[in-house]
């Protein structure tokens, strides 16, 4: 008996197939015109993955898809009675996980399949307590570029800006003596929130900095902000956001109720459970100070005044920097300029250095390293340099720099050597 397919309650198109490669898995995303019914299974000898999607037409050219060479050798398709079969020939056997996603921003319905090569062991996450306290180790700063892959963040390009600044900041940190940067993601792929904190722990982070850019419906809203939260603060803030979000027009009050990004709220909650709130506050304040000096506008109150209650001292200080509003036309332009990205990275770096100079972590002698570096540090004046800018770049006041160099005025000449005192 042959099955007669009568009216199609649903019929969908595959408009695109995208591969995302992260260090542990390969993600395949099918862009669909509608919700679908599907089945996924693997076959061996040779290894292949079969994806059957009911009542669906392939509307994309498979030969044009960039395949992750280490895992996939070929992708092909067939169609039977209106049902699409996509076969992916694999170089290794894999375990799979699949789910669908509803339309979000520029993305429509999607089917996601994650492939993990079999036999790839899950690494044991060591806690920070295992750190060798005697070693003269480098300070580890974990830099977390928000969003990525299928999660674009705020409309207007948040995920890309986060990654660009994260990379710049990592480069600056790695140039510093006694400091080392670790990125939670190095390219455009999604890293789960728990995974981000696991990366911080595995690398025995001394500080965790999550980089984001705000988005809001009112395009006029702009400014940079630095966030740290305590568990109690997080809960009450969350409650407040949710409450206030309903009264969407209320933009006053300093608290960033404008944040439409549930991910950020979740990141903050997650971070706050694990990380030292007191230290986060100190570090966040120093970073904010630098940003306030270099950004044209800050958004919200100084974190000093935020009424977050410190309930416990978990293990890694953490902060979240909202670098600006990507929804604001002027700030969107800035956030995408390499020059402005460098400015943000430099300000954060200076804040971080100031924090660690005052609070060198166990097992490091950062204070001495910073001092030694500062001793030999000098700046040769170039065209366009100002004393206040040199001071700011080095995290010290102009008056201190002036007196350290016994300058009678702030006028500089090109080629002049300005000695930088230790912070
Ligand atoms: Zn974000």
What average pLDDT score do residues 41-52 get? 93
Measured N-to-C along each axis, helices 193-202 and 262-274 cross at an angle, to the nearest 10 degrees, of 30
pLDDT higher at 407 or 362:
407
Given a contact cutoff of 8 angstroms between Cβ atoms, the answer to whether 313 and 303 are in contact is no
Domain limits, CATH 2.60.40.3500, in the chain: 12-117
User: How far is the centre of ligand 1, averaged over its atoms, from the C-alpha of 204 (Å)?
Assistant: 24
pLDDT higher at 175 or 244:
175
Q: In the prediction, which pLDDT does 66 show?
A: 87
What average pLDDT score do residues 89-95 get? 93
What average pLDDT score do residues 363-391 get? 79
| Whole-model pTM over 0.75 | no
Q: In the prediction, which pLDDT does 130 show?
A: 45
pLDDT higher at 117 or 171:
171
pLDDT digits (tens, 9 = 90+) for 279-337: 888 899 999 999 998 887 888 766 633 332 222 334 678 888 989 999 999 999 999 99
| Most confident by average pLDDT, 3-12, 249-258, 294-303 | 294-303
CATH of 134-358, one of 3.40.630.40, 3.40.630.10, 3.40.190.10, 3.90.1150.10: 3.40.630.40
The model's confidence at residue 124, banded by pLDDT at 50, 70 and 90, is very low
User: How far is the centre of ligand 1, averaged over its atoms, from the C-alpha of 210 (Å)?
Assistant: 9
Q: Which fold has domain 12-117?
A: Immunoglobulin-like (2.60.40)
User: How far is the centre of ligand 1, averaged over its atoms, from the C-alpha of 297 (Å)?
Assistant: 19
Domain limits, CATH 3.10.350.10, in the chain: 377-419
User: How far is the centre of ligand 1, averaged over its atoms, from the C-alpha of 26 (Å)?
Assistant: 23
pLDDT higher at 378 or 8:
378
User: How far is the centre of ligand 1, averaged over its atoms, from the C-alpha of 127 (Å)?
Assistant: 27
User: How far is the centre of ligand 1, averaged over its atoms, from the C-alpha of 2 (Å)?
Assistant: 52
pLDDT digits (tens, 9 = 90+) for 153-173: 888 999 999 999 999 999 999
Q: In the prediction, which pLDDT does 251 show?
A: 25
CA angle 266-267-270, nearest 5°? 85
The mean predicted confidence, pLDDT, of the chain is 79
- For residue 247, is pLDDT > 70? no
Q: In the prediction, which pLDDT does 378 show?
A: 80
User: How far is the centre of ligand 1, averaged over its atoms, from the C-alpha of 147 (Å)?
Assistant: 6
User: How far is the centre of ligand 1, averaged over its atoms, from the C-alpha of 260 (Å)?
Assistant: 9
User: How far is the centre of ligand 1, averaged over its atoms, from the C-alpha of 112 (Å)?
Assistant: 22
Domain limits, CATH 3.40.630.40, in the chain: 134-358
User: How far is the centre of ligand 1, averaged over its atoms, from the C-alpha of 279 (Å)?
Assistant: 23
- For residue 55, is pLDDT > 90? yes
Q: Which fold has domain 377-419?
A: Membrane-bound Lytic Murein Transglycosylase D; Chain A (3.10.350)
User: How far is the centre of ligand 1, averaged over its atoms, from the C-alpha of 285 (Å)?
Assistant: 20
| Most confident by average pLDDT, 83-92, 103-112, 300-309 | 83-92
User: How far is the centre of ligand 1, averaged over its atoms, from the C-alpha of 181 (Å)?
Assistant: 21
């Amino acid at each position: 008996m042959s099955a007669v397919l009568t009216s199609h309650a649903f019929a969908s198109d595959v408009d695109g197939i995208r591969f995302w490669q992260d260090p542990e898995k390969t993600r395949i995303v099918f862009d669909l015109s509608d919700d679908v019914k599907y089945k996924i299974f693997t076959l061996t000898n040779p290894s292949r993955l079969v994806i059957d999607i009911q009542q669906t037409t392939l509307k994309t050219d498979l030969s044009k898809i960039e395949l992750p060479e280490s895992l996939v050798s070929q992708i092909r398709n067939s169609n039977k009675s209106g049902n699409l079969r996509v076969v992916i020939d694999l170089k290794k056997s894999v375990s799979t996980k699949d789910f669908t996603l509803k339309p979000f921003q520029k993305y429509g319905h999607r089917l996601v399949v994650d492939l993990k090569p079999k036999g790839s062991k899950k690494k044991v996450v060591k806690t920070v307590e295992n750190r060798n306290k005697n070693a003269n180790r480098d300070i580890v700063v974990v830099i977390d570029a928000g969003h990525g892959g299928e999660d674009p963040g705020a409309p207007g390009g948040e995920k890309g800006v986060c990654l660009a600044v994260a990379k710049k900041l990592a480069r600056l940190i790695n140039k510093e003596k006694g400091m080392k940067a670790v990125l939670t993601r190095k390219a455009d792929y999604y890293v789960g929130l728990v995974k981000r904190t696991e990366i911080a722990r595995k690398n025995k982070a001394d500080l965790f900095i999550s980089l984001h850019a705000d988005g809001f419906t009112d395009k006029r809203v702009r400014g940079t902000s630095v966030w740290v939260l305590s568990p109690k603060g997080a809960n009450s803030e969350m409650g407040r956001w949710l409450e206030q979000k309903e009264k969407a027009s209320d933009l006053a009050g300093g608290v960033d109720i404008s944040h439409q990004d549930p991910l950020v709220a979740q990141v903050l909650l997650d971070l706050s459970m694990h990380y030292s709130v007191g230290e986060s506050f100190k570090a966040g304040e120093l970073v904010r100070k630098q940003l306030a000096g270099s950004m044209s506008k800050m958004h919200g109150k100084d974190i000093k005044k935020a009424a977050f209650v410190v309930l416990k001292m978990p293990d890694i200080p953490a902060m979240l920097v909202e670098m600006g509003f990507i929804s604001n036309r002027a700030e969107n332009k800035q956030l995408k300029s390499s020059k402005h990205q460098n400015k943000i990275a430099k300000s954060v770096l200076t804040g971080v250095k100031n924090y660690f100079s005052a609070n060198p972590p166990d097992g490091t002698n950062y204070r001495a390293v910073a001092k030694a570096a500062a001793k030999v540090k000098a700046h040769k004046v170039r065209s366009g340099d100002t004393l206040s800018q040199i001071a700011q770049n080095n995290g010290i006041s102009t008056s201190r720099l002036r007196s350290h160099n016994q300058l009678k005025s702030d006028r500089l000449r090109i080629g002049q050597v300005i000695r930088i005192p230790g912070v």
